[in-house]
Every structure is written in structure tokens, then in C-alpha cells.
Amino acid sequence: MKEVILCKYGEIVLKGLNKSYFESAMVATVKRRVADLGASEISFGQSVLTLTPLDDAFDFEEALRRLKKVFGLVSVIRAAACDKTPEAILATAQTYLPPFLAGVSTFKVTGKRADKHFPMTSPELSAEIGGALLDVMPCLRVDLEHPERLIHVEVRENAAYLHADDSKGAGGIPGGTAGRALLLLSGGIDSPVAGYMIAKRGAIIDALHFESFPYTSERAKEKVLSLAGIVAEYTGRMNVHVISLTHIQEELKRRVNEEYFTLLLRRSMMRLAVRCAEKYYCDAIVTGESLGQVASQTMQALTVTDAVADRPVFRPCIGMDKEEIITVARKIGTFDTSILPYEDCCTVFTPKHPKTRPTMEKVLAEEAKLDLPALEDEAFAAIEEHIIKAY
């Protein structure tokens, strides 16, 4: 008997001719994620990827933790692998499964026989394993309707697998199969969630953060880099580009009608994002905006911002309530960092009464009051790069 990790594919099972493309992307990601954890062997087939440690030094628990963050896998399960004989399976059930049944009073065994040469049918095998477990744990009862613990036995091509640990994977589709997108990453709650959601759909994520030093602090930037690190546990790594808006903000404050300050700032942010996306080959831009959350997130304000974008702007949080976004932030582990109280460039010089229903005409008239292209050139030339690796 050997303990292995079974990783089950999600949506890519439904892919037709392209399936092998998605599968190789996922296998490559899995290999990279566990490469520094010791020697292991990874095999795949029948929509399951099996990781077998090759020595005792392999960090099994850390591998489980990391693989639960690989997009494309719906479950990541610790399982016992044994020979495909009824004797080996029953013996393994009696030695491996009892700890998983501690503290429960009812269970059910479900058998799956992918290898039709195996001498027992799935129901026969399930019944035998149930009996073997009752022999060693007589206090237990079988409950076919509402078992407290479900035991699985799978007889596959190379071996039989037993498990009772139904652990959910990250879902989604494998990283790198949907192109590269640029996430506008603030230190808030919404944008890390937005980045996670688009990464889950297979995109590689680069991030762009705007700072406004000295109005925003070095610690505010460090907070953003830590957020990138948490999202990178799902994506592997993240390039974070940082652009300073200080000069642009000071000039906007000095020259434009206060009501339009935020809108003009957001248009400058979007133009700089487009330039950054162009430079780093990102085919879409991602933001954490949610309809109606603040003045710059009305339909009219978003229209004015999107008018300067030459590629799709994905806003996966657009229809989510704050509570729903927070639920995801807690799940992925960004929430506690997001709520650390550091300032963001968007809160520097915020007007009291921002325009919520701007017209393009008025926006353009305000923009004509200063040389934004020159200010943006200056900001873009000073772009700063960070490479964030999770592992």
C-alpha cells in the first residue's frame, strides 16, 4: 500500500479535440508546483492525474495544499493505492481507512470498476469492503441513504485506490490556456478577487498597481505585493508593474473641475493600463469594479473610462454584492490583508461630489485643460517591476 494524491479533472473533461492541450497545460502546472517538494511520479489517464511520492522525504501535506490551488482540478484526494486483487483491496481497507472513520457512526462504500476484467462487480466489491470494515470497527453501521462518511474504491488500469477524503479542488480551467490579462490591483478587497476569478478561467495574470508616493506609503505598496503573493498561490507567479500617479494627480487637482477629478484620473489609469498591457502582451484588462459601488462605477462613468481602452475590460465582480465578494476574498485568503488600513491612490484628493453621470463632451473639455499625454509618458517611463513567486 502506498499513499498517493488523485487529482480529478474538471471542465476539461468536456473539451473535445482540444482536451490534450488543456491536459498538458495542467500536467505541466502540477509538475511545477511540486517540483521542490521531493521526488514524485506523475501519471495521467482516464481524466485522473495521479501523483505518487517516490520517497519518504516527499512533503505530502504541502503537495496536497498546493494542488488544491491548481485550476482545472475539481478534486484533490489523498488515497491509498494497492494491487488490484480483492485480497489486497480488503487488507488495505482495514489498515488505511479506520482513521478516516474515527468519530463517525455510519458509512457507505461506493465502488467504481474502470477495469472490467476485475473479478467482482462494483456492488459486490462495495459490500465486501463494507464487511471488512465492520470486522475491524464493529461499532460502525452501514447507512446507504445518509452516511456520515462516504468511502470510495476505484479499480483503475494500474492499481486500485481507496479513499474517504473528498477534498474539493480549485475548479476552473488550467492556467495559461486562456491568454494573459492585466489586473488593476489596488490594496482593496475587490481587485484580488477579480484577478482570482479571471485566473480561474485559465488566464495568466499580470498586475498593475498605481501608487501615489508620498501620499501613499511604501507599506501600502508592500501590502499590494503581499496580495499578489496570495493570488499567486493559484497562478504560480505574478509580474507586478507599479506606476506612480503622483504628478498626474497633482496636476489634475490643480487644473480640472473637482467633480471630474476621479473620472479623469480613472481614464489616465486606463490609458496607462492599455500601454502596460501592450508592452507585456496582455490581451485584456481586469478590474474589481462592481456596479454602483462608488461614483466611478456607474454605467456612465464606466463608459467614459472604457472609451480609452482598446481591448476588453473584464469586471468579474460587476454583479456581485460586497458580501459576496468578501466571501470569495475569505475563501482565497486575501481578505485579512485587504482590510489592513493603508491608503490607496484613488483616495488621494477625492472630490466631495464626484460626477456620477458624466458626459463625454465635458470630460474631453476638462482633459483639454492639461497635457495628460506628456504626464502619462513621464509616469509610464518610470514603471517599476516586481516578480512575485508563490513557491
Q: In the complex, which residues of this chain contact Mg ion (CB under 5 A)?
A: 190
Rounded CA-CA distance 128/124 in Å is 6
Q: Would you say 52 or 246 has its CB closer to ligand ATP? A: 246
Least distance (Å) between residue 295 CB and Mg ion: 12
The reply to whether 289 sits near ligand ATP by the rule CB under 6 A is yes
Rounded CA-CA distance 26/230 in Å is 20
| Burial of 107 (C-beta count, 10 Å sphere; 0-12/13-18/19+) | buried
Cβ 93 vs Cβ 162: under 8 Å:
yes
Q: Of residues 195-224, which lie at the interface with ligand ATP (CB under 6 A)?
A: 208-210
How many chain residues touch ligand ATP (CB under 6 A)?
Answer: 18
Q: Would you say 66 or 209 has its CB closer to ligand ATP? A: 209
> How many angstroms separate the Cα of 34 from the Cα of each of 69, 166, 224, 235, 317?
12, 21, 26, 14, 31
Choose from Mg ion, ligand ATP, none: what does 358 bind? Cβ within 5-8 Å by kind: none
Q: Of residues 313-352, which lie at the interface with ligand ATP (CB under 6 A)?
A: 344-346
Q: Would you say 76 or 185 has its CB closer to ligand ATP? A: 185
Least distance (Å) between residue 286 CB and ligand ATP: 7
Among 184, 270, 332, 363, binds ligand ATP (CB under 6 A): 184
Least distance (Å) between residue 267 CB and ligand ATP: 12
Least distance (Å) between residue 311 CB and ligand ATP: 15
Cβ 183 vs Cβ 284: under 8 Å:
no
> Cell digits for 258?
473637482
Cβ 350 vs Cβ 224: under 8 Å:
no
Q: Would you say 340 or 360 has its CB closer to Mg ion? A: 340
Among 29, 40, 126, 191, binds ligand ATP (CB under 6 A): 191
Rounded CA-CA distance 261/255 in Å is 9
Least distance (Å) between residue 254 CB and ligand ATP: 21
| Helices within the chain (DSSP H only) | 19-34, 60-67, 86-96, 98-101, 122-136, 190-200, 218-235, 246-255, 261-279, 299-306, 322-332, 335-338, 360-367, 372-381
Choose from Mg ion, ligand ATP, none: what does 390 bind? Cβ within 5-8 Å by kind: none
The reply to whether 252 sits near ligand ATP by the rule CB under 6 A is no
> Cell digits for 183?
489586473
The reply to whether 74 sits near ligand ATP by the rule CB under 6 A is no
> Cell digits for 63?
503537495
**Percent helix, percent strand, percent coil in the chain, to nearest 5:** 45, 20, 35
Piece in contact with ligand ATP (CB under 6 A), picked from 16-24, 179-187, 251-259, 376-384: 179-187
Least distance (Å) between residue 314 CB and ligand ATP: 10
From the DSSP assignment, how many helices (H) and strands (E) are in the chain?
A: 14, 14
Piece in contact with ligand ATP (CB under 6 A), picked from 82-90, 145-153, 183-191, 375-383: 183-191
User: What region does 292 belong to: left with phi over 0, alpha with psi -120 to 50, or beta?
Assistant: left
Which of 313, 326, 322, 264 has the alpha carbon at shortest distance from 285?
A: 313
Least distance (Å) between residue 290 CB and ligand ATP: 7
Least distance (Å) between residue 119 CB and ligand ATP: 58
Which residues share a beta bridge with 5? 51, 78
Choose from Mg ion, ligand ATP, none: what does 186 bind? Cβ within 5-8 Å by kind: ligand ATP
Provide the residue count of the chain.
391
Among 249, 287, 305, 334, binds ligand ATP (CB under 6 A): 287
Rounded CA-CA distance 23/9 in Å is 9
Among 10, 188, 202, 236, binds ligand ATP (CB under 6 A): 188
Q: Would you say 188 or 236 has its CB closer to ligand ATP? A: 188
List of residues contacting ligand ATP (CB under 6 A): 184-186, 188-191, 208-210, 287-289, 293-294, 344-346
